[in-house]
């Protein structure tokens, strides 16, 4: 039996199209809630990895957790004279993300995503999602992509187990879904995904349309430009 674990943002769906408008709304809401200036809002954007309408590959916004982002917002707001308790900021940030989710545009990274996943399932491959996003947003995204129900397991933030790059999810899949590690592949677009795979002792495929493979650490086992390359199943599970 074989299994493929997919990251969600930047792997199954276009990251910037979804998260930039949402994050803009979130930070405006938090700036209003905590009465901080536009400069504070701008500083948070830079620290979470937004630069010139692009999001850094290994930034907190792309590869981090809500808790990490919340701590950055709290720290920046403090520098601008507004103090907030850790739990309060985390609660408000999560609320703001939920309320601004409608702003995001869900665009698949490949137009035939559903067809591709169905093809992989026909080959007897079990499919999984491992993301640092929460369950409600993840479920909504998969539904909009038209691929909800195609995954054997969906693992999200806030479910009580440690986030990537901790290998807990890989261990859980190996044990509960009977997928041997040597027949498991992680597909993602950040170094966190690569480290997740290495920690779990499975192979990793890094997806990117940019020429950045020379700076990746750890190094991926495979570099792909399009998810449709996964159709060559033998290449990854030889």
pTM: 0.89
CATH fold for domain 2-14+107-236: Rossmann fold (3.40.50)
Best CA proximity match to 84, nearest among 102, 71, 68: 71
**Which pLDDT tens digit goes with each residue over 180-213?**
999 999 999 999 999 999 999 999 999 986 655 4
Q: How many CB atoms lie within 10 A of CB 49?
A: 20
Residue 178's Cβ-count burial label (10 Å; 0-12, 13-18, 19+) is exposed
CA pair distance 201, 216, nearest whole angstrom = 17
- For the chain, what are the domain ranges? 2-14+107-236, 15-103
**Which pLDDT tens digit goes with each residue over 173-189?**
999 999 999 999 999 99
């Amino acid at each position: 039996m074989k299994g493929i674990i997919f990251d969600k943002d930047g792997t199954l769906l276009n990251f910037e199209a979804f998260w930039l408008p949402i994050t803009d709304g979130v930070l405006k809401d938090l700036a209003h809630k905590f009465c901080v200036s536009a400069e504070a809002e701008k500083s948070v954007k830079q620290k979470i990895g937004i630069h010139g309408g692009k999001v850094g590959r290994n930034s907190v916004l792309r590869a981090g957790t809500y808790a990490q982002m919340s701590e950055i917002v709290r720290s920046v707001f403090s520098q601008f004279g507004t103090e907030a308790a850790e739990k309060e900021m985390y609660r408000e940030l999560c609320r703001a993300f939920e309320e601004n989710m409608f702003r995001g545009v869900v665009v698949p990274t490949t137009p035939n995503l559903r067809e591709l996943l169905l093809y992989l399932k026909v080959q007897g491959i079990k499919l999984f999602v491992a993301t640092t996003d929460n369950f409600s947003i993840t479920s909504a995204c998969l539904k909009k992509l038209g691929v909800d129900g195609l995954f054997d397991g969906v693992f999200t933030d806030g479910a009580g187990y440690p986030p990537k790059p901790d290998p807990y999810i890989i261990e859980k899949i190996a044990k509960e879904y009977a997928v041997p590690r040597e027949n498991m592949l992680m597909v993602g677009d950040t170094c966190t995904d690569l480290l997740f795979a290495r920690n779990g002792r499975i192979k990793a495929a890094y997806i990117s349309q940019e020429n950045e493979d020379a700076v990746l650490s750890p190094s991926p086992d495979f570099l792909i430009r399009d998810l449709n390359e996964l159709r060559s199943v033998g290449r990854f599970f030889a």
